[in-house]
């Protein structure tokens, strides 16, 4: 009899233990995602986390890496990536020259030097003493490098775009004089700064340029000289804001042969805080350029706040002060891979300006979006597909409002194993097909078919804020709002 009671007691204890283990197993699986293999994530970009503010390097250009970068344009030559940028220095006076840096991986950058020691006499006289070069762009045509630069009298249309050429990307450079000059009171409306050069699908050269004054124009270049094909014309207006109270500048254009479309990027906002990058596309390089919602980039009827599909703007994930002034972008196409560069100022000290490089991901309907994390290299072993078990868990989400350009912060998002969002019994839910994740947000009577839908792409990236591998998502909401996400936490798994 005693043995029977002991057996029943032992059986009860075993059942209780098994139940406890089952509950723990379910809880842990519900809270933590099953990660990919380590080789399927990018490697750490450095041995230890990279500090955003490092005062000891202020006067040592050899250690600047991404620091003190502004208005950088990017080009690949042989096995090197190069950026040319406006001279900038924390707690110092900018020098006249154009900064050059190079990198093998777009992560670790070496300072090469500067183009020119002083502004040319012609440009200085035209701009009433302009002392520095702004916003360069460089392109290679038939073995010759064409470097376009700006000089301007701040706050006026007394501006000058010039050209220098070289047979070597690192120089020396020969100045070729002006490409276009504008002056207060002339017959032009454009402001001659911020050149962005693009070779179209037919091999013709074009320059997009301009700023607050009159907006962004595009004009054809003479490939033999690199200068304007029609010297007395400013070109075609392709983007503008309502007036000079609303910033627009820094144009760049890329062509995607898969969509047979041209994509215009411009920056809105003020460079120290609200700077943000917008995109629109066109079947013709001369426009019209329409955003995700079909709005023409020259349409100022609504004040142009909601014109242009936002790609990146000031933001902060948890455990980090975030980044401000995320604008003035450059574009790079390398085979099937596309990248966007832009300025970024440190959240806790906006005088520190860094270079950011981000992967561009294309939506199913042919729109570019960018990774919420900076580029940290390619994964060593490509993934075949993201699985549902990889998605389950806690995420941070950032929504980049089309209207509000102030710093966007993250909120917590929980994706449950049963397909629900935040509430296991709620109406919001998610679906995964391949690497495409759809988030369904229930709003009966307000949304089409009662649900707003965010469509995002999931991919492995390096988490710069928490210094670990992670999964991220990036995409657009139903109304063309950029949506970012980052998964937390992650287990170590080989």
Q: Which of 140, 149, 137 is nearest to 78 (CA)?
A: 140
**Degrees (nearest 5) of the Cα angle 78, 80, 84?**
115
Element housing 402 (H / E): none
Query: What letter does residue 33 receive in the DSSP assignment?
Result: -
Residues 6+ apart with CB under 8 A from 250: 71, 135, 194, 196, 211, 265, 266, 267, 327, 328, 329
Q: Which residues pair with 439 in a beta bridge?
A: 430, 454
Residue 328, CA atoms < 13 Å, CB-side half-sphere: 32
Q: How far apart are the first and last CA of the chain?
A: 52
Alpha carbon of 398 to those of 345, 372, 376, 488: distances in Å?
18, 9, 20, 14
Element housing 4 (H / E): helix 2-31
Q: Is 87 a catalytic residue?
A: no
Pull the structure tokens for residue 428. 């919001």
Are 280 and 304 within 8 A, CB to CB? no
Place of tokens 């998610």: 430
Alpha carbon of 456 to those of 99, 152, 337: distances in Å?
36, 41, 18
Q: Which of 330, 306, 332, 451 is nearest to 73 (CA)?
A: 330
Q: Is 71 a catalytic residue?
A: yes
Alpha carbon of 386 to those of 375, 436, 475, 485: distances in Å?
20, 9, 16, 15
| Residue in 87, 137, 220, 249 annotated catalytic | 249
Tell the burial category of 174 from Cβ atoms under 10 Å away from its Cβ (0-12, 13-18, 19+). exposed
Element housing 2 (H / E): helix 2-31
Cα–Cα distance between 21 and 28 in angstroms, integer? 10
Are 161 and 195 within 8 A, CB to CB? yes
Place of tokens 């300006």: 353
Residues acting as catalytic residues? 71, 249
């Amino acid at each position: 009899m005693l043995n029977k009671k002991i057996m029943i007691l032992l059986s009860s204890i075993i059942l209780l233990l098994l139940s406890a283990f089952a509950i723990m197993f379910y809880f842990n699986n519900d809270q933590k995602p099953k990660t990919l293999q380590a080789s399927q994530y990018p490697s750490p970009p450095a041995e230890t986390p990279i500090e955003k503010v490092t005062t000891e390097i202020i006067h040592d250009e050899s250690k600047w890496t991404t620091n003190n970068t502004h208005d950088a344009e990017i080009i690949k030559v042989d096995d090197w990536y190069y950026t040319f940028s406006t001279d900038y220095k924390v707690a110092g006076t900018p020098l006249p020259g154009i900064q050059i840096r190079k990198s093998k991986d777009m992560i670790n950058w070496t300072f090469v030097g500067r183009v020119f020691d002083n502004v040319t006499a012609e440009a200085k006289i035209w701009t009433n003493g302009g002392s520095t070069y702004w916003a360069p762009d460089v392109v290679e045509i038939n073995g010759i490098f064409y470097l376009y630069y700006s000089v301007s009298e701040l706050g006026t249309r007394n501006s000058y775009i010039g050209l220098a050429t070289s047979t070597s990307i690192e120089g020396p450079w020969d100045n070729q004089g002006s490409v276009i000059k504008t002056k207060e009171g002339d017959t032009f409306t454009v402001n001659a700064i911020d050149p962005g050069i693009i070779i179209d699908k037919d091999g013709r050269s074009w320059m997009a340029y301009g700023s607050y004054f009159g907006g962004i124009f595009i004009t054809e270049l003479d490939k033999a000289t690199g200068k304007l094909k029609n010297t007395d014309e400013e070109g075609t207006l392709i983007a503008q804001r309502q007036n000079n109270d609303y910033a627009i500048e820094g144009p760049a254009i890329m062509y995607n042969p898969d969509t047979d479309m041209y994509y215009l990027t411009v920056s809105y906002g003020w460079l120290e805080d609200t700077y943000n990058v917008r995109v629109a596309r066109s079947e013709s390089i001369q426009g019209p350029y329409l955003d995700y919602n079909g709005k023409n980039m020259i349409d100022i009827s609504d004040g142009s706040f909601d014109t242009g599909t936002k790609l990146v703007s000031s933001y902060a994930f948890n455990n980090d002060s975030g980044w401000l002034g995320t604008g003035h972008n450059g574009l790079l196409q390398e085979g099937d891979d596309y990248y966007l560069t832009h300025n970024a100022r440190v959240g806790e000290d906006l005088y520190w300006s860094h270079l950011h490089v981000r992967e561009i991901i294309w939506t199913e309907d042919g729109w570019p979006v960018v990774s919420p994390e900076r580029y940290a290299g390619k994964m060593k072993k490509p993934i075949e597909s993201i699985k549902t078990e990889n998605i389950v868990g806690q995420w941070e989400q950032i929504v980049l409002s089309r209207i509000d350009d102030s710093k966007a912060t993250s909120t917590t998002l929980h994706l449950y194993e049963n397909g629900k969002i935040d509430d296991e019994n709620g109406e919001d839910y998610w679906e995964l097909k391949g690497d495409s994740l759809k988030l369904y947000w229930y709003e009966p009577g307000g949304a089409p078919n009662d649900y707003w839908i965010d469509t995002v792409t999931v991919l492995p990236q390096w988490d710069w804020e928490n210094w670990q591998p992670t999964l991220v998502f990036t995409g657009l909401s139903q109304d063309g709002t950029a949506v970012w996400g980052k998964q937390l936490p992650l287990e170590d798994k080989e």
